Structure 1
Amino acid sequence: MTAAPDPPVALVTCLHFPGSRLAGAIARLEDTSPHVSEIVVVLDGVTDDERREILEWAPLLPKVRILQPRSPLGVANARNLALAAVTSEYVWFVDDDDEWVPDAARVVADSLADGYDVIAFRARYRDHPDSAGRVVDGVDESRGTTAREARRMLLDGTLQGFLWSKLFARRVLGTDPFPDLSSQSDVVGVARALARSHRLRLRPEELYTYVNRPGSITRTSALRLQNLARASDLVVEALADDADPAETDHFRAWFSCSGTVRTVARQRVPLREAMPALRDAQRSARLLARRGVRGDGARMRLELAALRLDPRVAVILGRFAYALLDARRAFRRRAS
């Protein structure tokens, strides 16, 4: 019996000083290798020992290609570099310290064969390695949809801007889809890909788990908060041709305004460091309120109202809400 051909999918990951996570990353890549057509690994900052271990391992898997920039590029530029080297029909971006179903590309093989521009599946988030987590992206249904609807789903938050919960046809990614931002470049890349797309497939399977660890891009207190506003502008720019102004205003409200408050509150970014971005978010929230955008749901309405009044009040309320949430989750873990 003839073995099924490898799915035409390139797995892309960018390593940035993985340390103790390297062994796990290598094991996951080995497990995934039989189920993709190529693996592209960018060494975007590694120690000499890490480089040596990777270069000794890579020849054991013929599908692996190692890219070694002369100096660290940052995650966005590293992904652009990897994309330029991809030869497969589809691309799947993963983070080396997360977890995924190794044969995910085979699970969605029928959607690959149908030639969809983007295939979106469900992903789970865990705030630490031992938690059960929760679903943070995707929908619990299996159907095709137009790219126009998919773009609306991105703007209203039904689909999130995560890369790892989607397979992209190489043709819709174009050249350098990720802007040179230290964070939030992924949502811009997703928006730009959707702007070039015609058909998207929604899948109900959970195929990826994002494990939020200390030191990750979105968790560090050194996060450049202004990236939220800049990414918001770039997403709106990418989707401007067929997006309704009310849809883009709503996106700015939840992604940039509420997103800034929640990031500062959740990651406990010092207020002195966060105030420039919070003041920008306050001005944006006030402008959106004059257009009639005050948020969907009680929590978002409260966040935006507090932000318009005083960003410090919004952050204090946010930190209190997260403290209650953490206490409730800790109680449930102990009870189970």
Structure 2
Amino acid sequence: MAACWLSILVPVYNVRPWLLECLQSVMEQTAPGDGVQVLALDDCSTDGCGELLQELALRWPGRLQLLRHERNAGLSAARNTLLEAAQGEYLWFLDSDDRLLPGAVAGLRAIVQAYGPDVVLCDFALLRERTRLKHRLRGEGHRRSFCGPARRLVRDRCALLAGLLDTGQLHAWSKISRRALWTDDLRFPAGRYFEDMATMPLLALRAASFYYQPSPWVAYRQRASSILATMTPAKALDQSAALAPLAQALRDTECASDPRVQRALAHQAARCLAGAMRYLCRQGCAADWGEPPTAAAQRLRENFLRISPLAPQALARDWLLRGWWLRRQRLLRWFNARPGA
């Protein structure tokens, strides 16, 4: 294994209440000289994160490396800067309000040493201030990030892509990848929302092998200020188009004709359409879309048609055969909705 086998990359912006918990969860699982690089980038925080990072760098001398943007550039740009500075053979993005669960780094190291996959997938737990019985009953202590073969090395990028799209869990922090996959033409799209959805499927297309460990390694904090909880017209439009780069890249690969990928991509495109249309129909003229709501709705539908390998009626028939009556009804409703008409 290379001297620096893993880089843990932490973009930081206005997360002071959770930053110490995040970095401590990493430091508790790493040690000096163990080949793990920990990089944190302050994207011009205004809540004292920069000062706290300086204090933590002194607490863990030589173990926490700090970077800083001169101007706030957003999550995608922060991750891209961290990518450029990473030295590890594998890269693990960790959001600075989340934390690694005990045993995560050791579990990853064992898989990398035994199998050397291009991508390692892990599950996650939802992190709340107060966990109630209803949260436990929902299974929030262990959420799956992948639908497919587990605990073995698999050399099938189409299975990887289909399994990711099936669950819709396309976040960067549940996927640890070889740095060699991140060539100059693969970066997070700066200035766009749903950047993980636009990027991680493209990464999957480059992987020759993967290993899915169905254990929660990351505790994901749900916050009221998340992208989905604070939708805007710009976010809705980006959501509806996030998978367009994948649809374009698929055309030249064997996965384009794979039925698993076709169904999974169509399903995920429909979910994106539904999320964007739901917001549009609720807000209508009350939000600044820059165009009439009917025109915005047409743009959302066009994005679906550009991405989905299956037409709406074909997808509706597939869902009917699967017994997904309610899901089918919602698809047809959102595709034919005319907000503001």
Paired position in structure 1 for 2:239? 228
CA shift for structure 1 position 225: 1.1
Paired position in structure 1 for 2:19? 22
Paired position in structure 2 for 1:261? 274
Name the CA distance, whole Å, in 2 between partners of 1:291 and 1:305: 8
Name the CA distance, whole Å, in 2 between partners of 1:44 and 1:231: 23
Name the CA distance, whole Å, in 1 between partners of 2:280 and 2:153: 37
Change (3 A) 1:260 1:292: closer
- SS of residue paired to 1:225: helix
Change (3 A) 1:311 1:199: farther
Paired residues of 1:228 and 1:256 also in contact (CA < 8 A): no
Paired position in structure 1 for 2:45? 46
CA shift for structure 1 position 65: 1.2
Change (3 A) 1:150 1:161: same
- SS of residue paired to 2:215: strand
TM-score normalised over the length of structure 1 = 0.79
TM-score normalised over the length of structure 2 = 0.78
Alignment of 1:148-297 (within 5 A): 148-155=158-165, 157-158=166-167, 160-175=169-184, 176-222=186-232, 224-240=235-251, 241-244=253-256, 250-251=263-264, 253-262=266-275, 265=278, 270-272=283-285, 273=287, 275=293, 277-283=296-302, 288-289=310-311, 292-294=314-316, 296=319, 297=324
Paired position in structure 2 for 1:9? 6
User: Match for 2:72: what amino acid?
Assistant: P
Paired residues of 1:15 and 1:96 also in contact (CA < 8 A): yes
Paired residues of 1:14 and 1:79 also in contact (CA < 8 A): yes
Consecutive unaligned residues in structure 1, runs of 5 or more = 314-336
CA shift for structure 1 position 209: 2.4
Paired position in structure 1 for 2:146? 138
- SS of residue paired to 2:154: strand
- SS of residue paired to 2:48: helix
Name the CA distance, whole Å, in 2 between partners of 1:167 and 1:302: 37
Q: Give the alignment's Cα RMSD to 1 decimal.
A: 3.2
Consecutive unaligned residues in structure 2, runs of 5 or more = none
CA shift for structure 1 position 84: 0.6
Paired residues of 2:240 and 2:272 also in contact (CA < 8 A): no
Name the CA distance, whole Å, in 1 between partners of 2:228 and 2:301: 21
Task: Name the count of aligned residue pairs.
Answer: 309
Paired residues of 2:13 and 2:49 also in contact (CA < 8 A): no
Paired residues of 2:2 and 2:89 also in contact (CA < 8 A): no
Does 2:82 correspond to 1:82? Answer: yes
